[in-house]
A and B are shown apart, each in its own frame.
Chain A
Amino acid sequence: MVLELHKPRPIWQIMFSTHHTDVGLLYLIMSLGFLFLGGALALAIRAELFFPGSQIIADSMTFNRMFTVHGTTLIFLFILPSASAVGNYFVPIMVRYKDMAYPKLNAIAFWMIPPGGALIWLGFADFTWYATPPYSIISAPGPAADMWIFGLKILGVSSILGAINFVVTIMKCKHPDMSLGQVPLLAWSFLSSSLIILVALPTFAAALLMLLTDRLGVSGFFNPAMGGDPIAYAHLFWFTFHPEVYVLVIPAIGMMYEIIPRFSRKPIFSHASGLAAFIILAIVGFSSWAHHMYATGMSFTEKTVFMVGTLAAVPASAMHVFNFLATMWGGRIRFSTPMMWAVGGIALFFSAGAGGVVNSAMPLDFVTHDSYWVVGHFHLFVMGTIAFGTIGYVYYMFPYVTGRMYHEVLGKIHFVLAMIGTVMVFFTQHVLGLYGMPRRIYDYPPIPEWIAMNQIATVGAMLIGISMAIWLGNMIYSSAKGPEANMEDPFGLGGRYYYPHTQKNPHH
């Protein structure tokens, strides 16, 4: 553990370390860095859309590049690495092993991310995070697109290496006295999401290579001019990235499973139900990928099959929500900052899920598809659920990572502003979608309803921006000057914690 408070080390010792808490710290810092970079792009996008016409972004190509890099960054360079950060800190401790199963592989998986991120940011491609062919093959400009493809390739390999490491650590290195069912739910969330990665990601890895050779002109897998089929790419892409949605959300749910019982001062209502929901989601998540493609001209039968597959994933998510509420029911709840984030995240998770049912119902999908409804819908997951769970967990980890306590009042202000902002941006975007505004547009006609709702969304985004600036200040200041935390019970809750700081560090 990096208890730098008492025994500070030079930075290179942490960078070249393979110890799981050091790699976790690297993951954490890098993912938060990319969160702020990607968030800055989001603020620029929202500012541009405040009025119809051109505001602060000079031309549509720049705008298109910005939302592409925004999406790619926050998914691959914030959400995935921040989950790995938490997993690195807590999984080995929860399974009572000295480190990750393959420490060097762990460090390699981390160090593949900076070059991948650099390729994405230096290239600044414009074909959306979905890289849809034939646009991405015949129309997307220059080296940017190729750099994006190579960047994603590297990040994909890093994800697979990380997933192998988590699976082996949990399945093979757990303490022999502990049955797999007794492994805490946070670690279980990493097991199930890692298994999904191992099954889903190779498909996209193949599709990326095919995309690259198509761009080079030596093949025509997705190029209709050469006899290929762009819809084939859509299937390959969504076969990876619909399950990937669960890869993103499951660790955040796992983090809530750590926070909610702790701050309710009550055991989890049902460990087995949470565990069953993780397993069900990991399996059923593979039956719904083509619900992203109703509008590509699928047959009625195909649409029906994927609608049923999608609806089948809902009960598992509903089980988590029930479990959280039943855990809180009758508990002596302490609304410290991490708990506020977790509870807010659950509320938004429920809203996002309800909106998802609307999307999956075939006739309604043709109202919402590729409109701002979809933008609002998935942002309620990635921001409202995943980022909320993760930020709550970062507050929860803060005393363990730094040995100091963050400023509680600022943490609460951060939550309140971000919650109001999130509701303003993403609920409004649902309605905006019902009014027909397409996503990924640089400018829009001056329709009064569109203008009003875009302005509400932009104000909300600025509130989120302010709250994140408060957070950044709080973290930087508190990690250097904050009061020393009581490491046995930093939140004054009693009970037993997992103690990352008791892990022996090889450099000490």
Chain B
Amino acid sequence: MQNQPNMRGLIGSMSDEHSSWPEWVYIGVVVALLCWVGAEAWNVERLVEHVPEDAEIIKVVGQQWFWTFEHEDGTKEVGELHLETGKAYKFEITSTDVNHSFNIHDYVVLLDAVPGRINTVWFSPTEAGEYDIQCREYCGLIHYNMRGKLYVEDPS
């Protein structure tokens, strides 16, 4: 017939009818795996968030529906960004209208552009080439085409 558990405490009744050790072993394995994932994630994130001191600052502004970049020397670019390999860059990201999300997927650069806030993320391009810049947060009519290009060149 159906299970008629007896509630002399949750743990007590778990061992009433049959041995529960496989479940405890299983939960132990799951918890151990989760601890490992958590510790590893904590460690990696700690390392990737450490911004090098010589990082050049690039100001990134998202607005419906394009990106504007301002280099440290004051030069501005719209929709495209020219950087050099071997240098570290720190993006200071904000928005003038609604939320956007600044994303260079090939370099795992992703951070929201939120009006009224400046979010920072850094990266260091390693290979010359063309990479896609896109918006990853829904921002309205032309969100799908709020794209840009990153050109990475070797230093001359």
Question: Which A residues have a C-beta under 8 Å from some C-beta of B?
Answer: 60-61, 64, 126-128, 130, 132, 134-135, 138-140, 179-182, 184, 224-225, 229-231, 261, 267-273, 275-276, 295-297, 300, 303-304, 307-308, 311, 314-315, 318-319, 322-323, 326, 357, 361-364, 366-367, 369-371, 435-436, 438-445, 495-496
Contacts and interface: CB of A to CB of B under 8 A. Distances in A.
18 contacts: A60-B142, A130-B138, A134-B97, A138-B97, A139-B140, A181-B10, A184-B2, A225-B115, A273-B23, A318-B27, A323-B23, A362-B44, A369-B110, A371-B105, A435-B105, A436-B105, A441-B144, A444-B144
A34 to B, nearest CB: 23
Contacts of B44: 362-363
A370 B144 CA distance: 13
A180 B5 CA distance: 11
Given A135-B99, A362-B42, 16 more contacts: A64-B138, A64-B143, A181-B7, A229-B116, A230-B99, A267-B2, A267-B17, A270-B20, A295-B110, A295-B136, A318-B27, A361-B38, A363-B44, A364-B41, A371-B136, A442-B144
Contacts of B22: 322, 326
Interface stretch (B29-37, B54-62, B66-74, B77-85): B29-37
Contact of A268 (B3, B26, B38, B144): B3
Contact of B108 (A64, A135, A296, A366): A366
A445 B115 CA distance: 27
Given A135-B99, A370-B101, A440 B138 contact: yes
Contacts of B137: 132, 370
Contacts of A367: 108, 110
B98 A319 contact: no
Contacts of A230: 99, 114-116
B58 to A, nearest CB: 16
Given A273-B23, A322-B26, A361-B41, A261 B3 contact: yes
B145 interface: yes
A315 B27 contact: yes
A331 B33 CA distance: 30
Interface string B99-114: 1010101101011101
Contacts of B6: 181-182
Contacts of B106: 436
Given A296-B112, A441-B144, A314 B97 contact: no
Contacts of A323: 23
A4 B71 CA distance: 74
B45 interface: yes
Nearest to B116: A224
A132 B138 CA distance: 8
Smallest CB-CB A-B distances: 6 pairs: A181-B7, A436-B105, A224-B116, A297-B119, A441-B144, A361-B41
Nearest to B109: A366
Contact of B1 (A182, A370, A440, A496): A496
Contacts of B17: 267
A221 to B, nearest CB: 13
A275 B6 CA distance: 12
A362 to B, nearest CB: 4
